């Protein structure tokens, strides 16, 4: 097995387990709980790549990707070292048995004590059928290459944990950022648009997403792209109205302008729109949207405005 593949599945496994907020820092260590993840690439349909991942042992996610677009369908299921099964209701059913080889790998964070990670490399064999909304993707295969990672409980030194929790940039000013958020409802789902720019000359990063439920299945659709700098770094002395126009790159279309009036009212208007996998093109500005702007440390804004 290639080292690159092993590292990728380790990262997936770590992503499924967050560090506990009450780590035992006063005792000089924290505990990293065990985790399990499995990944398989099922194939392609209409230009989309389709893959399946287990999020622990009791949740399964199927993701379709094309360029900056992706849609993730999550459902309660089962995954372990021997099999994977998940019923996506009207979208389809995934069920297969795993067979392959295993190897061991040391936990890659220094200062941690625990059993070596078990990496499984092989194939899932069974029945895997999925059909997206109106057939925008459809796949039916009997097997796929797969990998899993089983990480055991580890006790790690707190000094090393600090680097894992959050980097400490030498210059805080270099990581100052400005963010714009606009939100609305769309066909029962929560639609949002985010634009992020930094003060160090980086281009705008834009993302649109919608979260919804389809019966037992949770669905999240995201489209991401770069864009032109919007000038979101308003200062207290700037005259009113204060405006910033956001123009994301393809596959976004059009633009939208954010406006702050002296009385505190906010405007968000334009013809900005975006394709979202499985939904087609949806508007991102106009009546029904609420917008806000915030500034702060880049790391603090990764989850959105406070």
pLDDT of residue 26: 43
pLDDT of residue 5: 42
**Which has the minimum average pLDDT: 65-69, 218-222, 301-305?**
301-305
Average pLDDT over residues 14-18: 42
Intra-chain end-to-end CA distance of the chain, in Å: 43
Are 84 and 132 in a shared domain?
yes
Selection from 109-123, 272-286, 292-306 with the highest mean pLDDT? 272-286
Decide if 152 contacts 117 (C-beta within 8 A): yes
Q: How far apart (Å, rounded) are the C-alpha atoms in residues 65 and 63?
A: 7
Q: How far apart (Å, rounded) are the C-alpha atoms in residues 142 and 263?
A: 62
pLDDT of residue 169: 42
Are 179 and 113 in a shared domain?
no
Are 141 and 212 in a shared domain?
no
Decide if 290 contacts 171 (C-beta within 8 A): no
Q: What is the pTM of this model?
A: 0.82
pLDDT of residue 8: 42
- Cβ-based neighbour number of residue 263 at 10 Å: 6
Task: Residue 6: name the closest of 78, 108, 100, 79 by CA.
Answer: 108
Residue reference for tokens 């009997």: 142
Are 139 and 7 in a shared domain?
yes
At which of 148, 165, 182 does a domain end?
A: 165
For 20, the 3-state DSSP assignment is coil
DSSP-H helix ranges across 49-173: 158-165
Domain that holds residue 154: 3-165
Segment 49-78, tens digit of pLDDT = 999 999 999 999 999 999 899 999 999 999
By residue count, the chain amounts to 306
pLDDT of residue 125: 97
- Is residue 306 in a domain? no
- Is residue 39 in a domain? yes
Are 7 and 154 in a shared domain?
yes
Are 127 and 10 in a shared domain?
yes
Phi, psi of 135 (to 5 degrees): 70, 25
Are 57 and 157 in a shared domain?
yes
Q: How far apart (Å, rounded) are the C-alpha atoms in residues 29 and 194?
A: 37
Segment 223-253, tens digit of pLDDT = 998 876 666 766 556 788 888 888 888 999 9
Number of domains in the chain: 2
pLDDT of residue 111: 75
**Which has the minimum average pLDDT: 23-37, 79-93, 97-111?**
23-37
Are 62 and 151 in a shared domain?
yes
Are 107 and 248 in a shared domain?
no
At which of 128, 143, 165 does a domain end?
A: 165
Are 19 and 121 in a shared domain?
yes
Are 177 and 157 in a shared domain?
no
282-to-58, 124, 184, 217 alpha-carbon distances in Å:
33, 37, 11, 21
At which of 165, 190, 216 does a domain end?
A: 165
pLDDT of residue 242: 85
- Contacts made by residues 295-301, CB under 8 angstroms, sequence distance 24+: 295/176, 295/177, 295/178, 295/179, 295/232, 295/233, 296/176, 296/177, 297/172, 297/175, 297/176, 297/177, 298/175, 298/176, 298/177, 298/196, 298/198, 299/166, 299/167, 299/175, 301/177, 301/179, 301/196
**Which has the minimum average pLDDT: 100-114, 172-186, 252-266, 278-292?**
172-186
- The bridge status of strand 154-157 relative to strand 204-214 is unpaired
């Amino acid at each position: 097995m290639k080292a690159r593949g092993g590292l990728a599945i380790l990262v997936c496994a770590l992503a499924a387990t967050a560090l506990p907020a009450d780590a035992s820092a006063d005792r000089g260590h924290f505990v990293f709980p065990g985790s399990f993840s499995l990944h398989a690439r099922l194939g392609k349909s209409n230009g989309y790549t389709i893959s399946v991942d287990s999020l622990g042992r009791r949740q399964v996610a199927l993701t379709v990707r094309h360029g900056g677009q992706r849609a993730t369908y999550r459902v309660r299921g089962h995954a372990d070292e021997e099999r994977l099964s998940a019923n996506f209701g009207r979208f389809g059913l995934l069920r297969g048995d795993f067979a392959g080889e295993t190897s061991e790998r040391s936990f890659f964070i220094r200062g941690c004590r625990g059993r070596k990670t078990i990496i499984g490399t092989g194939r899932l064999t069974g029945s895997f059928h999925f059909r997206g909304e109106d057939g925008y993707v459809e796949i039916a295969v009997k097997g796929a290459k797969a990998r899993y990672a089983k990480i055991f409980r580890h006790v790690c030194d707190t000094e090393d944990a600090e680097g894992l929790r959050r980097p400490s940039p030498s210059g805080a000013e270099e990581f100052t950022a400005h963010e714009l958020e606009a939100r609305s409802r769309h066909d029962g789902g929560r639609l949002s648009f985010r634009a992020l720019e930094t003060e160090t000359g980086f281009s705008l990063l834009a993302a649109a997403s919608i979260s919804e439920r389809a019966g037992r299945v949770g669905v999240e659709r995201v489209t991401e792209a770069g864009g032109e700098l919007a000038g979101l770094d308003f200062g207290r002395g700037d005259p009113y109205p204060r405006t910033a126009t956001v123009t994301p790159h393809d596959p976004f279309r059009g633009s939208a302008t954010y406006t702050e009036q002296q009385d505190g009212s906010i405007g968000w208007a334009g013809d900005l729109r975006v394709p979202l996998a499985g939904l087609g093109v949806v508007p991102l500005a106009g009546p029904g949207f609420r917008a806000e702007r915030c500034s702060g440390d880049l790391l603090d804004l990764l989850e959105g405005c406070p």
